[in-house]
Structure 1
Amino acid sequence: MKFILISLIGVILALNILLLVRNSEIKQRSIDEQATLMNQIDMLESKVLKQTIMTDGFKLSTETKVEDESGKEVPLKTLMDDKNKVILRFSPSDCLSCVNAQIDSIKRLSLSIGSKNILLLVNYNSQNDLKILKKKYALGISIYNLPSERVSSSFETVPGPYFFLLSKDLSSSMVFTPSSTLPKCTSDYLAEIQAVFNKTNSTIGNDIINSICLFKKTDLNIGTIKKGHKAEAVFILKNTGKYPLLLNKVTPSCSCTVAGWQHLPIQPGDTSSIRLQYDSGKVGYFNKDAFVFMNSANSPVRLVISGEIVE
């Protein structure tokens, strides 16, 4: 496991260097070339994500106990409710901005899978710290103290917060250490977590909060566009459900297409849009698609942009 973690850190450092080089290149390119390069970086980050998720995690003892705000010890197994839980773990030694970023991420995730499916297991010295944390972050998510000595995992030695999926038998999987320089990896990871919950729990009764997303059109032909001009389609959508709608990610089928969308929750009754921009530097007909992943029963939705680029 230590070798894997060292390799993981090496991969992330190498990617950071690559990103710095790419960013300097991007500033010297045209708008279309910039969009293509940025999309290539996104695809590279997605590849890194697959390498950084440890599907085989660690196992906690079935006798593991956590401490609540009053200092009372509670068997962790009793908190599982015979379900999988998403765990965010951090300690006072982790950088504050890193913790803040992941708290925001877990709050957004709670809107789509339900706060009852999430636990914050922190490594703090006093129970008063738990009360301060809960008040500071206005958490509607259960938070407990789990001393580090009760967790037999190499991830405890890695600086920074980390996520994992915990099963009812207290086995972990999908362990993930986020990086502040790779925010897309985190959003993609949480989208995968949401997909897992949507497969295993598809109803409100199981605390999964699915909204309903309706698109005005999912296939747009933008006609004839001159080479070098903006080739963009705007897809209008509406949240017709009773719960906030989260667009977790929009994945184009190739690097020639770039997607843009609102990352904040879309409230019931509100409309929003997704923009797909095609690289108009290539002459000829085109037909490209992208998939929208969200907390809606019809997720993922396929969007298609087509047209012709002329001289």
Structure 2
Amino acid sequence: MELAYIPSPSRGVLYLGPVPLRGYAFCIIIGVFVAVWLGNKRWVARGGRAGTVADIAVWAVPFGLVGGRLYHVITDYELYFSEGRDWVDAFKVWEGGLGIWGAIALGAVGAWIGCRRRGIPLPAYADAVAPGIALAQAIGRWGNWFNQELYGKPTDLPWAVEITSSTDGRLPGTYHPTFLYESLWCIGVALLVIWADRRFKLGHGRAFALYVAAYCAGRFWIEYMRVDEAHHILGLRLNNWTALFVFVLAVIYIVLSARKRPGREEIVEPGASDGDWDEGAAAVEDAEPDLEPESKSKSESEGPSAKADAEEKKDAGASGGGGVKKEPESAEKS
């Protein structure tokens, strides 16, 4: 009886007409768009302007890609700088190899620059985009499926992934689809952050810290299942230690931040509400000139009768004007 399994794609390149697009890069691009879309909706719901998330992402995304690649190259330097390797391959991001830790760290630097340019607090921005980042990771992990990389131990489970080619010398077979495990975990993290944010009104960076802590918890056990080459410290893979360390930092931040600044920011983007008022005021001002012709025509139609009334009052005043003028004279004589 043939076992069920998840087949790997026959090729890792998609063609948009004559343009080749690697599946890995395609997944990252889709993930970025989803993150910006969801982040924008959450940012506007918190009182910010539409489009701000995309403007800051122009800084955060390139920084994140550079940071992710740097982390990967530094922690797996032997893939690029050992004997028989070509160091130029370190620049071929489209072939795979991004470390989430470096992407988040340097991406935060890019976001900080973008936030400073807009006068926005970075923690508020991070809270808005946190679930979107988790979903971007969920989509991006399917790039590992296209590349047939970062899988787990051999297994005959029905959801095992079939590996037909390998760059690490392993035999073709069925393995734990750790990319799928992490993808599903990241979707769960996104839903958790959205729910907790609505339930507890998380602010001042706590929604982002919750995302970081929840992701690290999943990454720890998923990393433990992987069989690709990695540096080990005290029996654990380097990424296990990184996940554990970052998890502790995120939990500490949540606790201390909740004590120091409970609740959520009242204003996430200075001037956003004023901008909305200005737009409304402009609409009113645009409508006011339309009333002028009506008022003018009304005054013109009432003009003759009003003029006649004024002449009658003038005549009445003239007929009784003598007595009125004599009173001051008699008063002066007396």
Q: Where on the TM-score scale, by shorter chain, does this alignment land: which range?
A: under 0.3
The TM-score, its normalising length taken from structure 1, stands at: 0.23
Structure index of larger Rg: 2
The TM-score, its normalising length taken from structure 2, stands at: 0.22
